[in-house]
């Protein structure tokens, strides 16, 4: 029986049918590698849930709440409503992380490298945040927030981030913080690493795919910072 990454994620999230869940559970019990993947998913889910809980509880800004107020004599487009319902079923698995307050305030602009940074690398301002800011120490209202840190398959430190100018993933190499994934950029911004239309949930799903093991805890993050993320 073949168990995919989607099966593992759905199993951890409790989204499988009873029959499929039983089969996946049996396969996991018989395969240490599958058990390791399940443990990694659970650890990352728990860490992200704790990280976003305070944000998800924040009230939606008044300006955005006003947009949700029904207008009188509004004509309902049932076709559009049906397409919207269908689209919700195709959202990335990490959509449970981005609560209404987060989703409503996401910005999908692209972090394009500016002066002082090689092409494809974080600009000095973003690099400074990636170098110094720890998840456990950052303020809720920070312009750029670190979502999580992890090691990729090559053993490099990577950090998922979100800010007023967009969200993305950057990994540390000998040159600097290389941008591996980013939210949608401005029109005409041609890059190999842009994820068109990407939301914060897409970025977290990409991080899950890239990670070799669970996200770093507070102690591991502090040690990584002390070593220059190398």
Token pair recorded at residue 209: 């795919």
- Sorting pLDDT into bands at 50, 70 and 90, what band is 198? low
Sign of the C-alpha dihedral, residues 64, 66, 67, 69?
Answer: positive
- Cα–Cα dist 114/112, whole Å: 6
Residues 42-75: tens digit of each pLDDT: 888 777 776 666 666 666 667 666 666 665 655 5
Q: Tell me phi and psi for residue 226, to 5 degrees.
A: -65, -30
- Cα–Cα dist 26/53, whole Å: 32
- pLDDT for res 215: 93
- pLDDT for res 193: 43
Q: How far apart are the first and last CA of the chain?
A: 39
Q: How many CB atoms lie within 10 A of CB 140?
A: 8
- Cα–Cα dist 135/224, whole Å: 12
Average the pLDDT over 68-96 and give the result: 55
- Cα–Cα dist 96/61, whole Å: 20
Average the pLDDT over 96-104 and give the result: 41
- Cα–Cα dist 31/163, whole Å: 39
């Amino acid at each position: 029986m073949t168990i995919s990454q989607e099966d593992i994620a759905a199993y951890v999230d409790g989204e499988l049918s009873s029959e499929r869940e039983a089969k996946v559970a049996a396969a996991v019990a018989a395969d240490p590698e599958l058990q390791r993947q399940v443990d990694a998913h659970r650890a990352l889910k728990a860490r992200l849930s704790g990280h976003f809980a305070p944000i998800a509880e924040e009230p939606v800004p008044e300006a955005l709440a006003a947009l949700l107020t029904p207008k009188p004599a509004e004509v309902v487009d049932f076709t559009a409503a049906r397409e919207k319902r269908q689209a919700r079923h195709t959202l990335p698995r990490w959509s449970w992380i981005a609560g209404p307050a987060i989703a409503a305030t996401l910005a999908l602009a692209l972090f394009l490298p500016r002066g002082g940074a090689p092409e494809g690398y974080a600009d000095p301002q973003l690099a400074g945040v990636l170098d110094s800011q720890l998840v456990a120490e950052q303020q809720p209202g920070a312009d750029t927030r670190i979502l999580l840190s992890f090691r990729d398959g090559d053993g490099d430190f990577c950090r998922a981030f979100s800010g007023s100018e967009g969200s993305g993933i950057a990994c540390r190499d000998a040159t600097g913080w290389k941008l591996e994934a980013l939210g949608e950029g401005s029109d005409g911004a041609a890059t190999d690493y842009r994820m068109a239309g990407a939301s914060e949930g897409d970025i977290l799903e990409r991080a899950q795919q890239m990670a070799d093991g669970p996200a770093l805890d507070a102690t591991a993050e502090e040690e990584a910072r002390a070593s220059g993320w190398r």
